[in-house]
Structures are given as C-alpha cells and as structure tokens.
Structure 1
Amino acid sequence: MEELKEQGVKGENYAALHVGDWTGLLEKGHQTETGKLGKLFLKELLGLTGMEVSIGVMPAGSQIPFSHSHIENEELYLFIKGAGQFYIDGEVLDIREGTVIRVTPAGVRAWRNNSSEDLHYLCIQAKEGSLQQYTATDGKIIDHPFKWPEK
C-alpha cells in the first residue's frame, strides 16, 4: 500500500496527492491587506481536465481583497469549517460549516472571515451548462472483485 506524499502518485487512470493539513495551506498562500490567504489550486497538480478545484483557508479577520465574476465557469463553494460572510450581487449571506453556494459566471462575488477561527472551504469551477451525465446516468457497476489490503 503506497502512502500519499506531497509529490503524489499517478497511475494510468488516476492522480493522487497529499497536500498536508489545512493550516499548512497558509504557507502556500499570498499576503493581502487583511492577512495571509491560503489557497491551493489542483488543476495542474492533478492534471484536471474538466474542472478546477481549489482548497482554501482564510484566517480570522481576513477577506478576499477584490470582487470577481467569471467568463464561462460557474463555481461551487463548500464551506468545511469556520464562519464568515459571502457577498453575491449586492447581497451578503452568512456562511458557516455546511454552507454550499453555487454562483453563475456573471455573479459578482467575494467573501470574508469575520469570525475568530480559520474559515476552510473548497471551490469547484466548471463550465456552466457542460454537465451532460451525472450520478447514475454516468456511473456503471463493474464486475471487478478486489480485496482490501490488511493493515
């Protein structure tokens, strides 16, 4: 059994990587006026071809220093831990662990951490309207017996 390391492992049909703990993302981040933001984009690291995924950590009291929209990609934000606020098209939504938000390409967005703990989130970008098959319509059961390795 191969342990995932930062350099990752690749097979014919997969790429896997251990990016470290969430707080370690702050070391890979960039400095803004309100603090250091940790964000790691996975497209290049994993060879993603149909989406971009980023893992983010926003320290207490920090915020995205700009609002933005997209040309073709919708985004899905999944807030994993912490709390804050999400700005979208002039509205401010309170966010916390378990909040999920889809934003169309035209939506103007930004977010901040106005809590006392780190805000952890995932962001998935994909071309709006490109999903043709999903869940059961794209999955198929394979008759391929396997055995889990012993610990």
Structure 2
Amino acid sequence: MEKTGKNYKTVSLGNIKELGRVVLNEQLSLTGSEISINELPAGVSVPFVHAHKRNEEVYVILSGKGRFYIDGEEFAIETGDVVRIDPAGERCIAADPETSIRFICIQTEANSLVQFTQNDGIPVEGKPSWLN
C-alpha cells in the first residue's frame, strides 16, 4: 500500500524479513529524522567505525543477536534491545557468527527535541470509525 494525503505518506515495504537495507528518507519524505531498516548476515560487521557530527542514533534490535563497539567498549546485543548513541560516540555493529541481526536505526539531530508527545499532542474533532 502506498498512499499520500495532505499530512501523511505511507509506503509498503513488503516482507521486512526478506529485506536487506532500506532507507526510508525519500520514500516517506522525512524532514526531521533518518530511518533505516537493516540486516547484517551471520558473522558480518559494518566494515568501519564511525561517529557523527550532529546526529544521535537509536538502534532497535528486531531479531537476532550481535555485538556493539562504542568508544572502545564492546557488549552483546539481542532481540528487544535498544541502544542510543551520542553523535561523538565511535560505533560499529556486528552480527553474531551464528545468526543474522535485523535492526532499525533512527537518526535525529541531538538536542533538537523541544517537547515530547505528551506535551505536543492536542485533541481534535476528527473521529475514526472504530471510536464510537
């Protein structure tokens, strides 16, 4: 399903379990974040350590297990783990030798969030069919 409205855009990625890396910036016309869905096959690592100038990253581990390297420290990660890294954090991720790892990576400019949903959401008059 792909659909665009005045204030939204949707895309269908199909079976996420069969995707390699998908970057959603252009597909969703993102303006405040970068989102990618990634998979590293068993025993494979991102081939470099990197940091960022302005963006913090959040990794949501969807399946599998692996290891993270951040600022010289290494630790195990697995399904359900969530990791946030400051822009200056030197990072690298690797899949376990026995299993692939699938994760979502969300990048946003550090310190750019001015309020959370609880303070940003406002009630409006519209009502979906399932709210009677």
Does the CA contact (< 8 Å) of 1:78 and 1:122 recur in 2? yes
Percent identity of equivalent pairs: 40
Which residue of the partner structure matches residue 10 of structure 2? Answer: 16
Q: What are the within-5 Å matches in structure 2 for residues 1-151 of structure 1? A: 4=1, 8-25=2-19, 38-148=20-130
User: Relative CO higher for 1 or 2, CA cutoff 8 Å, sep ≥ 6?
Assistant: 2
SS at match of 1:19: coil
Give distance in 1, aligned partners of 2:117 and 2:59: 20
Query: Where in structure 1 are there 5+ consecutive unaligned residues?
Result: 26-37
Counterpart of 1:95 in structure 2: which amino acid?
A: I
Which residue of the partner structure matches residue 31 of structure 1? Answer: none
Shift of 1:22: 2.6
Aligned residues: 130
Shift of 1:127: 0.4
Give distance in 2, aligned partners of 1:45 and 1:90: 35
Does the CA contact (< 8 Å) of 1:55 and 1:121 recur in 2? yes
Counterpart of 1:120 in structure 2: which amino acid?
A: R
Instruction: Give the stretch that moved more between structures: 38-47 or 123-132.
Output: 38-47
Q: Which runs of 4+ in 1 moved over 2 A?
A: 115-118
Shift of 1:115: 4.2
Q: TM-score, normalised by structure 2?
A: 0.93
Query: Where in structure 2 are there 5+ consecutive unaligned residues?
Result: none
Does the CA contact (< 8 Å) of 2:44 and 2:97 recur in 1? no
